[in-house]
Amino acid sequence: LLVFASSAQGADALPSWNEGRAKQSIVSFVERVTAQGSADFVPVPERIAVFDNDGTLWAEQPMYFQLLFALHRVKVLAPQHPEWASQEPFASLLKGDLKGALSGGGTAIMQIVMATHSGMTTEEFEQIVRDWTASAKHPKTGQLYTKMVYQPMLEVLAYLRANGFKTYIVSGGGIDFMRVFSEEVYGIPPEQVIGSSGKTKFEMRDGTPLLMRLAEVNFIDDKAGKPVGIHQHIGRRPIAAFGNSDGDLQMLQWTCRPPGPRFCLFVRHTDGDREWAYDRASSIGRLDKGLDEAGIMNWTVVDMKTDWRKVFAFEP
Amino acid sequence: LLVFASSAQGADALPSWNEGRAKQSIVSFVERVTAQGSADFVPVPERIAVFDNDGTLWAEQPMYFQLLFALHRVKVLAPQHPEWASQEPFASLLKGDLKGALSGGGTAIMQIVMATHSGMTTEEFEQIVRDWTASAKHPKTGQLYTKMVYQPMLEVLAYLRANGFKTYIVSGGGIDFMRVFSEEVYGIPPEQVIGSSGKTKFEMRDGTPLLMRLAEVNFIDDKAGKPVGIHQHIGRRPIAAFGNSDGDLQMLQWTCRPPGPRFCLFVRHTDGDREWAYDRASSIGRLDKGLDEAGIMNWTVVDMKTDWRKVFAFEP
Ligand SMILES: [Ca+2]
Ligand SMILES: [Ca+2]
């Protein structure tokens, strides 16, 4: 009996999901598009699935992890920038007044990102991110940020790939930031990461070709930018999309446009004990219009609290 | 004996290549990077090879095929644009004065491209290109343009893929133009095509999500833009690059930067009988600085006339 139970669990590709409509909708979709001869069969090259990152594959509280990286870099770089002592948003930040620093909203955040994500080669930046992800710890859990990933979503990624899907990240986060850990953490290679980016410039330095990161926006992969980024990188429409906020709404609309079998899912953050609870009123990861549309379109909405047996892999 | 000869040829992955240094350099590189335990072994995920398109995978004379497509579209669209009768470069073009129309250089070409490549959805554009490639014939050979591909290069693509390489197009041509035929003609799926692009905009039209093609440049994937495009799409440096002109020089420099096993190749158009002969002085596909650098860096230079047994697959 024990052997049988263990074997039955081994056959379950989504062991961290509780039985229920959300899990059932995923399995049913995959079985339909992979069943040879079925009307809903989709050839392997068209099995494209796209995943938002922040709040969908890993956590995003108390704020986006890449912003925490940028704040850390401001402190590291401050000695080389004496002018920051009297220049916002850096001045507030260096005085420890995070709220004041971010009161400038999107402009302040962009200034912080540009000051910390440009002025070096692509390879230097990669190393800086690699060092940070290998050492920085989440303020609440004490875990490395790359451990703050959702075990149930790792299972979905692996399950889809085992069924011939190509899995992509499509995130408002920085494309080169995520590429540093996407292969190791998610099994997603750098060429399947789509994200926001700054411009880069090819240069020969002492006979060595380099790409310099410039302080200029190239592309913002958020909201209506997500379908644009998908088209630019993939060139065909995905058949499955996973997100957690209104920033993913257009990606889900684009993916789930009829006809044909299509699957769209929102992760809803409902578990204030094991994770964080937030949706319609949150400034980070607001899920409001998306929740309405999910109801109308009959998309899957994951209730983290009831649908996920386990949230993070590091949980006992 | 006959059986043996046939079997030996069957084992040759590059049958349209004559024996010689060029062919030998390709085979030797592939054998080195795929030999388990060799110092030059490269893991499969890092086996990335990039190919220019015009003049490298298919012909580019008497002018770039995509420009011929655009000229055709100007004629089709002219009835909807009475203003073109007095507006250059369209006026000259519609009078049959191609040379006059193109005398405006890059600006004229850009006006022609923008007028013919924007103002429709991505899917409408795809269908327009599909119709053209299924019907338009090359002025010299009378073949479909998609038949004007180099048989020896198709063999290189297949040979690399059989050895674990992911093959990419990296071309100054339009990304959405090439994607229409890249999978069928080259075995390269749309997500492995990198090229120039205009901006697109996500829109809801009567409840249907669409991407509109705007008359605005997004990215020019040529010269110093090629390493930028490669980084943006792939996120790691290729280990093999194939081109035919100075427009590929930076891509080859970026790819062949030491250390590690790396392979760079220029196709040199030396066969005025079977194809076209042009290099240092040509306005289309100029190979000048690249030829000098290839000599210094010991890159492979293919002499089409002597290295290729067959040029086009349609040849007897
Ligand atoms: Ca998100
Ligand atoms: Ca070329």
Kindly report, residue by residue over A239-255, the tens digit of the pLDDT. Answer: 999 999 999 999 999 99
Q: How far is the CA of A283 from the centre of ligand 1 (A)?
A: 11
- Cβ–Cβ contact A4 with B under 8 A: no
**A201: closest CA of chain B, how far (Å):** 7
Q: Is B269 in contact with B244 (CB distance < 8 Å)?
A: yes
Cα-to-chain-centroid distance, residue A209: 31
Per-residue model confidence as pLDDT tens digits over B138-189: 999 999 999 999 999 999 999 999 999 999 999 999 999 999 999 999 999 9
> For B140, how many CA atoms within 13 A lie in the half-sphere containing its CB?
13
B233 and A233: CB-CB below 8 Å?
yes
- Cβ–Cβ contact A257 with B under 8 A: yes
What number of other Cβ atoms are within 10 A of residue B96's Cβ?
A: 9
A253 contacts on B by Cβ (under 8 Å): 204, 209
B224 and A202: CB-CB below 8 Å?
yes
Q: Looking at the partner chain, which of A48, A227, A233 has a beta carbon nearest the beta carbon of B209?
A: A227
The predicted pLDDT at position B50 comes to 99
CA dihedral B300, B306, B311, B314 (to 10 degrees): -150
For residue B229, pLDDT beyond 60 = yes
State how far the Cα of A196 lies from the Cα of A237, in Å rounded to an integer. 19
The predicted pLDDT at position B61 comes to 97
The predicted pLDDT at position B119 comes to 97
What pairs with residue A227 in β-bridges? none
What number of other Cβ atoms are within 10 A of residue A270's Cβ?
A: 18
What pairs with residue B302 in β-bridges? B267
B122 contacts on A by Cβ (under 8 Å): 231
Per-residue model confidence as pLDDT tens digits over B29-53: 999 999 999 999 999 999 999 999 9
Q: Is B74 in contact with B84 (CB distance < 8 Å)?
A: yes
Q: What is the CATH number of domain B14-61+146-307?
A: 3.40.50.1000
Ligand nearest to the CA of A170: 1
Q: How far is the CA of A252 from the centre of ligand 1 (A)?
A: 12
What number of other Cβ atoms are within 10 A of residue B112's Cβ?
A: 21
How far from each other are the two terminal CA atoms of chain B, in whole angstroms? Answer: 25
Per-residue model confidence as pLDDT tens digits over A146-186: 999 999 999 999 999 999 999 999 999 999 999 999 999 99
What number of other Cβ atoms are within 10 A of residue B254's Cβ?
A: 23
Q: Which residues of chain A have pLDDT under 50?
A: 1-10
A201 and B224: CB-CB below 8 Å?
yes
The predicted pLDDT at position A11 comes to 64
Q: Is A207 in contact with A248 (CB distance < 8 Å)?
A: no
What number of other Cβ atoms are within 10 A of residue B284's Cβ?
A: 16
For residue B9, pLDDT beyond 80 = no
Residues constituting chain B:
316
Q: Looking at the partner chain, which of B211, B234, B257 has a beta carbon nearest the beta carbon of A228?
A: B211
Q: How far is the CA of B243 from the centre of ligand 2 (A)?
A: 6
State how far the Cα of A120 lies from the Cα of A80, in Å rounded to an integer. 14
Backbone phi and psi for residue B305, each to the nearest 5 degrees, phi listed first: -65, -45
For residue B6, pLDDT beyond 60 = no
State how far the Cα of A59 lies from the Cα of A289, in Å rounded to an integer. 21
The predicted pLDDT at position A306 comes to 98
- Cβ–Cβ contact A207 with B under 8 A: no
Q: How far is the CA of A236 from the centre of ligand 2 (A)?
A: 25
CA distances from A233 to A53, B54, B235 (A): 17, 21, 12
Average pLDDT over residues B83-96: 94
Interface test with B, best of A46, A191, A226, A289 (most B CBs within 10 A): A191
The predicted pLDDT at position A316 comes to 86
Q: Is A288 in contact with A252 (CB distance < 8 Å)?
A: no
Nearest Cα neighbor of B52 from B168, B130, B164 is: B168
Indicate the domain borders of chain A: 14-61+146-307, 65-135
B228 and A179: CB-CB below 8 Å?
no
The predicted pLDDT at position B7 comes to 36
Ligand nearest to the CA of A244: 1
**CA angle in degrees (0–180, nearest 5) for A128-A129-A133:** 125
State the residue for tokens 């959300």: A22
Put residue A126 in one of left, alpha, beta given phi > 0 → left and psi -120 to 50 → alpha.
Answer: alpha
**B187: closest CA of chain A, how far (Å):** 11
Q: How far is the CA of B167 from the centre of ligand 1 (A)?
A: 32
Ligand nearest to the CA of B286: 2
Q: How far is the CA of A64 from the centre of ligand 1 (A)?
A: 9
Helix (H) or strand (E) holding B23: helix B21-34
